Amino acid sequence: MLSYIALSVLVPLLLSSCLASPLQTPRETTLEKRQSSSMITFVDLATNTGNSVHRASGLLYGVPDPGSQIPSSFYTGMGFNHLSAGGAQFPDASGWIGGGYTGRFQDVLANYKTAKSFGAQFMLKTSDLWGADATQPSNAIWPGDGGSYAEYDRFLTQLVSDLKANGMTDIMFLIWNEPDLSIFWAVGIDRYLQTWTHTANFLKSNLPGVRIAGPSFSSPPNSGNTWWQRWLTECKNSGTAPNVYTWHHEFSTNDNLNDLSVAQPNMVNLINSFGLPMGEFIIDEYGILAEQVPGGAAWWIGSFERWNMYGLRGNWVSTWKLQDFFAGLLGKTNNNDRFGTGYYSNGEYQVYKYYVNTMIGHRVKTTRSTDKKMDSYAVVDTHRVRILVGGRQVTGTYQLTIQNLSVLGLPTSGTITVHTFEFPYTGVTGRVDAPTDLGTVAHTYSGNTLSFPIFQTSTTTTWAFEFDY
Ligand SMILES: *[C@@H]1O[C@H](CO)[C@@H](O)[C@H](O)[C@H]1NC(C)=O
């Protein structure tokens, strides 16, 4: 989702982040006994889950035209590897139905070139190029209006021609964005299904081999959802299953379905029950605005790495700001100057930077707290273990429990010196250049397991823990 409301309305009150150190205190010694598993996140050092390709480092929009307006070190710093764009709310050109297709395509082309220059995959939000970007007039035309696809076919013909002419056939062609929301699709489910099949067949004839992506519903998959049921039925009946199954995770953090641990198996079960081909799964928009803080970023990193699915950060601003700031990770000297520079990173950016550049080595299995609110992501480097923890909009005393220390050659009991880093947050445009080094604490352990508390006093701040072996 993107915003079509003024940005100022959407920025929540920033919770003051009390300076709570997660360092050891005397009461910690009995904490393991008191802490219930509902508030423990586990790291199993004995289970190697392979190397990371930084699944969470994708962006919805967030990249200006030209992309070089933002220094390249910021792209590589956050591991930029997926970009979804189509020119939504681009102020200089409105899209096909507003007579501004040519300018909007040039904007898309600039974004595509930026993605390619960093080796990132590009997903085209085709409905943005049509002009269905939540700013379309109430009398906007839609594919299939009046029982005719002639106008839509003229659009698709031009688009396919332009994609070929610019060597853009390696994109993922997203057929329509969030058709289950009337601000993006105003003519109902039957027309959507007809348009899905019409577009998929058009592409098979005119751009064979292009990867088709969809449905990018705002609702995560579940068997009780009419849009998913009817879309899967349509894919089955017309033989138009996509190569890439996409959907969004931008509902309440308390919504049970808004979670890969529920949605991923739901999607697998639905595809199998309909007898459809199993494609790749990509979350092309993740995280509500309140989750776009260090804790939320780390929580989502844990999920995407566990499920081996790519995720693209949701984008919660509007107009030209959609194509700037890396979907809420950067600020600049004048945040209201479209062409301004002087970029700097915020506190959430530092989490991605640590995840991509510092957390090297193989991944090991982690398990969320059973209240689903505290997660971890862990890697084992040659002589160092690094663990990033992340809370999903929670406070409270959680616990990190690290199992099977002996696989590293450590004794099953003894003392381990843990180095802690804090990732603070000072607002979406609050500059943070590095995590805060909180120093080391020696923890005693036994039973091949090290446990210590995570004092989560703010819903934004998060932590990384490191130790050598
Ligand atoms: C790792 O630790 C868990 C919990 O103590 C244990 O159940 C499991 O068997 C261990 N795995 C290995 C390979 O030792």
Taking the centre of ligand 1 as the mean of its atom positions, its distance from the CA of residue 47, in whole angstroms, is 9
Within a domain: residue 421? yes
How much is the pLDDT for 35?
73
46 lines ligand 1 (CB under 6 A): yes
Query: What b-and-e string marks burial along 395-405, b requiring 16 or more CB atoms within 10 Å of the CB?
Result: bebbbbbbbbb
One domain, residues 178 and 317: yes
Question: Which CATH number fits the domain that encloses residue 108?
Answer: 3.20.20.80
- Rounded Cα distance between 198 and 273, Å, is 24
One domain, residues 193 and 325: yes
The domain in which residue 158 lies consists of: 58-355
One domain, residues 265 and 185: yes
Mean per-residue pLDDT over the chain, rounded: 94
How much is the pLDDT for 22?
44
- Rounded Cα distance between 70 and 279, Å, is 34
153 lines ligand 1 (CB under 6 A): no
One domain, residues 128 and 174: yes
Q: Which long-range contacts (CB under 8 A, 24 or more apart) does 14-18 make?
A: 14/425, 14/426, 14/427, 14/460, 15/458, 15/459, 15/460, 16/458, 17/424, 17/425, 17/457, 17/458, 17/460, 17/461, 18/457, 18/458
* Final residue before a domain boundary, out of 330, 355, 380: 355
Res. 54: pLDDT tops 60: yes
10 lines ligand 1 (CB under 6 A): no
367 lines ligand 1 (CB under 6 A): no
Within a domain: residue 4? no
One domain, residues 367 and 407: yes
Ramachandran region of residue 330, left (φ > 0), alpha (ψ -120 to 50) or beta? beta
Closest by CA to 426, choosing from 462, 374, 461, is 461
Nearest CA to ligand 1 atom 4: 403
Tens of pLDDT, residue by residue over 402-415, are 999 999 999 999 99
Res. 29: pLDDT tops 60: no
Res. 9: pLDDT tops 70: no
Beta bridge partners of 396: 456
User: Could you tell me how far CA 396 lies from the centroid of its own chain?
Assistant: 25
Distances (CA, A) of 303 to 317, 343, 459: 25, 29, 18
Question: Which CATH number fits the domain that encloses residue 432?
Answer: 2.60.40.1180
Within a domain: residue 8? no
Within a domain: residue 433? yes
Asked if residue 82 lies in contact with residue 120, where contact means CB atoms within 8 angstroms, the answer is yes
One domain, residues 331 and 383: no
Q: Give the β-pairing of 436-445 and 414-423.
A: antiparallel
261 lines ligand 1 (CB under 6 A): no
- Rounded Cα distance between 89 and 66, Å, is 16
How much is the pLDDT for 329?
99
One domain, residues 47 and 195: no
Number of domains within the chain: 2
Nearest CA to ligand 1 atom 11: 46
Identify the DSSP state of 325: T
Neighbours of 61 (CB within 10 A): 30
Distances (CA, A) of 391 to 45, 178, 308, 349: 21, 28, 20, 16
Within a domain: residue 1? no
Q: Which residues contact 12 (CB under 8 A, 6 or more apart)?
A: 289, 290
Tens of pLDDT, residue by residue over 295-327, are 999 999 999 999 999 999 999 999 999 999 999
The best mutation among 37, 367, 380, 403 to test binding of ligand 1, ranked by most ligand atoms within 8 Å of the C-beta, falls on 403
Res. 76: pLDDT tops 50: yes
- What DSSP element (H or E) covers 82? strand 82-85
One domain, residues 206 and 332: yes
One domain, residues 339 and 236: yes
Q: Looking at the whole model, is its pTM more than 0.85?
A: yes
Taking the centre of ligand 1 as the mean of its atom positions, its distance from the CA of residue 435, in whole angstroms, is 32
One domain, residues 303 and 322: yes
Tens of pLDDT, residue by residue over 189-217, are 999 999 999 999 999 999 999 999 999 99
One domain, residues 418 and 328: no
- Rounded Cα distance between 11 and 118, Å, is 30
Tens of pLDDT, residue by residue over 361-400, are 999 999 999 999 999 999 999 999 999 999 999 999 999 9
Taking the centre of ligand 1 as the mean of its atom positions, its distance from the CA of residue 469, in whole angstroms, is 19
403 lines ligand 1 (CB under 6 A): yes
Beta bridge partners of 356: none
- Rounded Cα distance between 288 and 308, Å, is 21
* Final residue before a domain boundary, out of 325, 355, 385: 355
404 lines ligand 1 (CB under 6 A): yes
Q: Which residues contact 34 (CB under 8 A, 6 or more apart)?
A: none
* Final residue before a domain boundary, out of 355, 374, 401: 355
451 lines ligand 1 (CB under 6 A): no
One domain, residues 269 and 390: no
